[in-house]
Every structure is written in C-alpha cells, then in structure tokens.
Structure 1
Amino acid sequence: MSRPPASSRAPVVNAGRLWSGGVATAVVAALIGLVGLLIARALLQIPYLAPVRAGALGDSRTIVLCVCAAIAALAATGLAHLLLVSTPSPMAYFGWIVGLVTAVAVVLPFLDTEPLTVRLATAVIHLVIGLAIGSLVTGAAVSATGGRR
C-alpha cells in the first residue's frame, strides 16, 4: 500500500505551541480591553461601562469585558485548531470568520441606546480586540504548523 502524497496528508499541528500562543493572545486581548477602558474613562471622560462616578476602572462590567475578550481569544484558538486539522486553506477560512465576527462586534454597539460616545468607544475597543486576536492567533497557527500555512 502506498502512502498518500505529502500534500494530501493531514497537517502536523504542534498543539502545545498553538495553545500557548492562544493563551498569550487571551492575556493580550484582556489587557486591550482594560487599556481601552482606561483610555475611554480616564483620558476621554466617556462613561464607558459605568457612570463616571465609578472611577477610572469602572465596575464589575470591566471584568466581564476583559474575561469575554480572553474567552474570545481562546475560542479563536480552538477554531484555528479545528480548521488546521480539517479544512483546505484553513487560515483563509479563519481570517474570514474572525473578520466577520469582529464586524458584528463592531456594529452591535450601534444598536444600543447608549450615548454616541459610549457606542463609538465600544466599537473601537471591539475592533482592536478583534484585530489583535485575528493576527496573533494566525501567527500562532502558522508557527504551530511549521510555517506551511
């Protein structure tokens, strides 16, 4: 029995390398949420996620933002891993999926009734988080497959 050509074999994914990159991305995404919140609240005086009287760090919704950003990064890592082992051109699909989910996250705040400044701050923070997750997880995935993606 002959071996299938190298191009038709499933890619070898270094899961440890991929997931360590995913965890690092989760930390970065959470910190982007925190820095974005601090810029909006402390520098721009926008009552983002809490009234101004709650201080620079806001309230418990700050933690929710950071945790959700970290979870999104881990979910993106899981998606990348799934696509790497199951689909042709996995990073093309990954880019489209992350791009479209980021677009949804940017548009959703505009469906709210918050002041325009809060909606803009939310959209910008979501955009930066999405861009970071997309680029960092892509880099981790390429690294985890030996640069073949």
Structure 2
Amino acid sequence: MASPQGGWDRNYEQPTRPYPAVDPQPEDRPRVDAGKLWAGGFGTAVVAALVALVGILLVRGVLGIHILSPSDAGAYGDATTTTYAFGAFGVAILATGAVHMLLMLMPRPMAFFNWIMLLVVAVGVLIPFTVSAEVESQIATAAINLVIGLCIMSLLNSVAGIATRAGRTVSGDGML
C-alpha cells in the first residue's frame, strides 16, 4: 500500500489535469520580424538625431542659452552639436538591439524595455546637474535629453508592436 508522497519529492508527482498539457514550444513564442524591427529602429535613430539637433538649435538659437559649446560658436554650435546628434542616433540603435534581445528572450519584454528606458532617461536628465554649469544650461540639456529619451521609447514601443507577430495559438481542446 503506497502512501501519498510528502516533503521534497512531492514535486515529482504527475498532477492530473482537466485539460491537455501544452508545453510552450519555440513556435508558440511571438515571432519577431527583424527586418521591420531594425528598419523601424534606424528610423527611430534618425528621428532621435534630428530631435537632438532641433533641440540644440532651439535652445541656442532661439532661447540664447549656451549649451554644449561656447557662446561664440553661433546657433548651431560646433562639432559637439554633431556629436550629440550622433550620440542620440547611437543610443536609439542600442535601444533597438535591446528591444530585439528582450523580444526574443524575456516574458513581457516591453515592460522590461520601458523600465530600462525610463531609468536611462532618468540618468540622462540627472547628469547635466552633476557638472558645473549655469542652471539654465543644465535645465536645457536635461530637457533635450528627456525629449530624446521619450522619443526613442515611444517610437520603439510602436515599432516592436508592429514587428512582433503572434506565434501558434492552441485552442481549449489542445488542437491548433
């Protein structure tokens, strides 16, 4: 006469299920259209670079706040402005890679992506306040960083939704 299992070996018992067991297969995971994802990521990177450029032109040219370069450099600034725009481009490309990895490996990938991006944006907003500069320059730089980060986050959320297709679905009777 067998007694019910107890303790550490209870997990080895096969439960009786009222429904057929469906083990997740690789085909059941959402599929990522890498072409669409990376095309959208490249578009996001171009938009992020242009947001950086427009932000700097607005702050320096229209508002007259000296940011990223000396005051005698004009509204565009100097090579630092171009570097800042290319930096925004690079961050968007890195974020696209992160989205791709998360979509392939993580449960609820966009929740993780949004948290990662919000924390990266927070760092970008706080960094200007850690250097010695005029307060208005710090605020302007933080604002540009905020807009660039939110731009990247929102566009890649949309791109990821379009580039992700549902995997196979299993109906309640275990049939495909």
Q: Which category of TM-score, normalised to the shorter sequence, fits these structures?
A: over 0.9
Aligned to 1:146: 165
Kindly provide the amino acid, as one letter, of the partner of residue 162 in structure 2: S
Cα distance in 1 for partners of 2:107, 2:27 equals 10
Q: Residue 90 of structure 2: SS of its match in structure 1?
A: helix
Distance 1:76 1:145, change over 3 A: same
User: How high is the sequence identity, in percent, across the aligned residues?
Assistant: 46
Kindly provide the amino acid, as one letter, of the partner of residue 91 in structure 2: A
The equivalent position to 1:61 in structure 2, one of 80, 99, 118, is 80
Give deviations 1:44-70, integer Å, cap 9, x for gaps: 101111122111110110011001000
Cα distance in 2 for partners of 1:99, 1:24 equals 20
The equivalent position to 1:19 in structure 2, one of 38, 48, 51, is 38
Distance 1:36 1:92, change over 3 A: same
Give deviations 1:101-135, integer Å, cap 9, x for gaps: 00000001000101111100100000000000000
Aligned to 1:30: 49
- Give the structure with higher Rg (CA): 2
Aligned to 2:67: 48
Cα distance in 2 for partners of 1:49, 1:87 equals 38
Measure how far apart 1:10 and its partner are. 2.8
Distance 1:73 1:147, change over 3 A: farther
Q: Which runs of 5+ in 1 are unaligned?
A: none
Measure how far apart 1:88 and its partner are. 0.2
Q: Which runs of 5+ in 2 are unaligned?
A: 1-20, 168-176
Runs of 4 or more consecutive aligned structure 1 residues displaced over 3 Å after TM superposition: 2-8
Cα distance in 1 for partners of 2:79, 2:106 equals 40
Q: TM-score, normalised by structure 2?
A: 0.79
Q: RMSD over aligned Cα, in angstroms? A: 2.0
Q: Does 1:108 align with 2:137?
A: no
Higher helix proportion (structure 1 or 2): 1
Aligned to 2:140: 121
Cα distance in 2 for partners of 1:52, 1:6 equals 60
Measure how far apart 1:6 and its partner are. 6.8
Kindly provide the amino acid, as one letter, of the partner of residue 43 in structure 1: V
Q: Report how many aligned residue pairs link the two structures.
A: 147
Q: Does 1:94 align with 2:117?
A: no
Check the 8 A contact 2:67/2:140 in 1, yes or no.
yes
